[in-house]
Amino acid sequence: MDSRTLGTGLQVSALGFGCMGMSQSYGPNPGDRQQMISLVRGAVDQGVTFFDTAEVYGPFVNEELVGEALRPLRDRVAIATKFGFAFDADGRQTGLDSRPEHIRQVADDCLRRLGTDTIDLFYQHRVDPNVPIEDVAGAVKELIAAGKVKHFGLSEAGVATIRRAHAVQPVTALQSEYSLWWREPEAEILPTLEELGIGFVPFSPLGKGFLTGKIDQNTAFTGTDIRSSIPRFSTEARQANQALVDLLGEVAARKDATAAQIALAWLLAQRPWIVPIPGTRTPQRLTENLRAADLRLSADDLAEIDAAAQKIQVQGDRYPAHLQRMIDR
């Protein structure tokens, strides 16, 4: 697989692997841990060198899974993880916490769970309004100086926060949602990242599965599936948003591809420093996703997709209200 560079020096595969879904959010968790470990290792065999996890995924168990899977392959991959949440004694997430002393403790805990001596990319998972971003960047800068972290990242941060953080410690990558059905980053975020030389890592590049065409208005989500609480996945919203999937399907049919591959190829074509991180639990879907890295959309293809997408008004918020409040503006 081709490689891309995030920031000024983190070289990774053009498509990464988002590992969250192996431990939470999309219905009952997989019962066979070894299958998930084999899937992660299979991704490396197919050229993936960039893996994304976080302490809050699980919580904690996703880092342990990723660490175990990648330990024999550690010299071939970059691992990104995240700090920024507080937990009670039972491991339940209770809010945000990006105090420098907490960041330092989380770094040590992440290193232990991952079974490694350095974190390739350490993101602030959500901006903490109670801690100046300069203090956050300064704490990560100290971790980089100590050799525990190689690169600093932000997630769901706004332009002002990005600039302030970058002035203290260069930001290598911003991770935020971006896809054909969430294009808000195009207005201010992408121009800012281009100006500052910061890479972009879109999560949910397939719209939490919707852009694959495998979900329709009749799909039922269980209470353990985060999509059951997301307004964009209400029955009415899915019915309205089907037009976007139909568009992808039309282009895919001409390209002998799938809707998911077109959605990922579209993202890759937006900027050379964008690295999407689709996730999956199956080898078949992994291979399908990764083949998108070899799919080239022409200027005419991109213009057609853009013109048609502009006519589609996507319905529904992308988060329930309590999660929407955590987004930095």
Catalytic residues: 57
Bridge partner residues of 199 (DSSP): 173
Q: How far apart, in whole angstroms, are the C-alpha atoms of residue 5 and residue 271?
A: 11
Q: How far apart, in whole angstroms, are the C-alpha atoms of residue 50 and residue 44?
A: 9
What are the angstrom distances between the C-alpha of 59 and each of 86, 93, 149, 185, 300?
11, 8, 21, 28, 44
Residue count (the chain): 329
Q: How far apart, in whole angstroms, are the C-alpha atoms of residue 206 and residue 220?
A: 18
**Are β-strands 149-155 and 17-18 bridged in parallel, bridged antiparallel, or unpaired?**
unpaired
Q: How far apart, in whole angstroms, are the C-alpha atoms of residue 52 and residue 177?
A: 14
Does residue 59 have a cis bond before it (omega within 30 degrees)? Answer: yes
* Burial label, 150 (beta-carbon count in 10 A; 0-12, 13-18, 19+): middle
Q: How far apart, in whole angstroms, are the C-alpha atoms of residue 130 and residue 154?
A: 16
Q: Which two tokens stand for residue 133?
A: 């971003």
Helices (H) and strands (E) in the chain, counts: 11, 11
Task: Tell which residue, 244, 202, 208, has the closest CA to residue 228.
Answer: 208
